[in-house]
Chain A
Amino acid sequence: MIEAEVRSSRPEAAFVLLLLQAMFWVIAGISALPFAIAGEVFMIALGAASILLGLATLLAAIGVLWRRRISRRLVIALEVICLVGSAIHLAVPIGANRGLVSVMVNLGLPVAVILLLRKPKEAFS
């Protein structure tokens, strides 16, 4: 029988989603590096920035797991930025990918993290 005390497991669920999001950024960062080798020098910076963002997200996720209030705020801010950016990006007619996975990763995942961390605030110290 799997049981837990009456405590929220929202931070743990948010941690799992943030872990996936961090991995997506790290993979995007790694994927930019071959283009840098092919002569697109700025892709080195973009790739490195993506990998660092992935690692920073992972650290923030660990902070969420430890119920740190600052981590919760940072993560919500990050997800709001991602959400607004993605919504604008998908709305403008530049032929951005609007596939199922794109919507799930770029809209669904930030929304889920924000909803998970919206409450209970008291759980965070």
Chain B
Amino acid sequence: MFDISPDHAIGIYAGLVALAAALLALRLRPGRRGLPGTVLGASVLLAVSGAIHLGLITTHLREPVTVALFLMNGTGYLVLSQAYTWRWWRPASAALLTSTLIGYLIYIAFGFDTPDQVALATKLLELTALGLVLVPVRGERDRPRRIIRWAALGAAVPLLTLVTTATVWIVDLARPDATHAHAGAVLQQSNAVASPDQVAAAATLYAETKAAITPYEDWHVAWAAGFRPGPTNMPSTHWINQHNVNAGYVLDPAHPQGLVYANTKHGPVLLGAMFQMKQIGQFGPDPGGPLTAWHEHVNICVTPFGGFEFSFMTPMAVCPIGAIDLTVPAMLHVWIVPNPGGQFAIDIDSAVVKNIDRS
């Protein structure tokens, strides 16, 4: 969702070319005078959206249905972008924009395409164009049907914005690509099946890490070593050693950047260690191949309130007020308690934490 599919990149270039051409076409048409700026703006956005759709045909030639839909949409948008003096321009444009938005959502819901930045940007242009097509302007003549248009604008644009964002988000969460292990986490890529050497290396890393952090089962020892807890209002808490973070140790069992404790009624119970890279965008060494793949949390909205609470950035790249989106440097967990997801899984199973709390 936050990447650009290689086969969609051409849409950006087509859109940029169409933007220049549409602005030039507006200048050359004397009929534009006396028209509201909203109509002219919608005309430009329709031209850009149309060009993006037509541009995408070249990379989808093996998908006849998709090509037919792109061709219909693109041609329709381009024709309407130049037909703004036509009496039925507004109803026709609103109908095509709405049906395209809804059609795209059905298309991705059934898995025929995956949302990416080009698709989302196009939907953004279409929503804006729909608003500009519908919004009544002061001083318009020729029975502008103001009440109907206000009602359509007030209902359609907010509703379609909400439905588009929600559908894209649900589809992205329900069908993450191969690099996204779970929401907001990008997994380091490696070979599919671990080799015997990688299995042995992972076992060595696990044994060395477990031996090194066992003294920290007593949280007082961890505290004395410089580990400090993050927010404790969750079932488990990461305790970070800022010295180890700043020193930039890389996958050093004796110097993990963090420890993870379950917050139980008996006090903190050690669950495992966390190794973290110092720089954003760098994965660490991966001795166990797919067994010890690092992960990076991207596009998360973090707030300092409550000791760094977080949520996920919306598909429209907005965070709640008071939070900013950032990427957390790559990390690798080593769980020393039995974890159904594995010894190096991204997360500890919540049932494991609950069982520890109950015991």
Contact = CB atoms under 8 A, between A and B. Distances in A.
B117 A100 contact: yes
Contact of A8 (B37, B41, B158): B37
A101 B35 CA distance: 30
Interface string A44-58: 011101100100000
Contacts of B20: none
Given A5-B141, A20-B128, A27 B316 contact: yes
A124 to B, nearest CB: 12
Contacts of A97: 2, 298-299, 313, 317, 325
A23 B161 contact: yes
Chain A interface main SS type: helix
Given A8-B37, A10-B37, A28 B318 contact: yes
Interface in A21-72: 23-25, 27-29, 31-32, 34-35, 38-43, 45-47, 49-50, 53
Nearest to A54: B321
Interface string B110-124: 000000011011001
B293 interface: no
B309 interface: yes
A24 B168 CA distance: 14
A104 B320 CA distance: 18
Candidate in B3, B142, B317 with the most chain A CB atoms within 10 angstroms: B317
A17 interface: yes
Candidate in A6, A8, A27, A47 with the most chain B CB atoms within 10 angstroms: A27
Given A3-B140, A9-B38, A32-B320, A41 B233 contact: yes
A20 B124 CA distance: 9
A39 B234 contact: yes
B327 A95 contact: yes
Given A46-B305, A97-B317, 7 more contacts: A5-B140, A7-B138, A13-B132, A31-B320, A35-B310, A42-B306, A101-B317
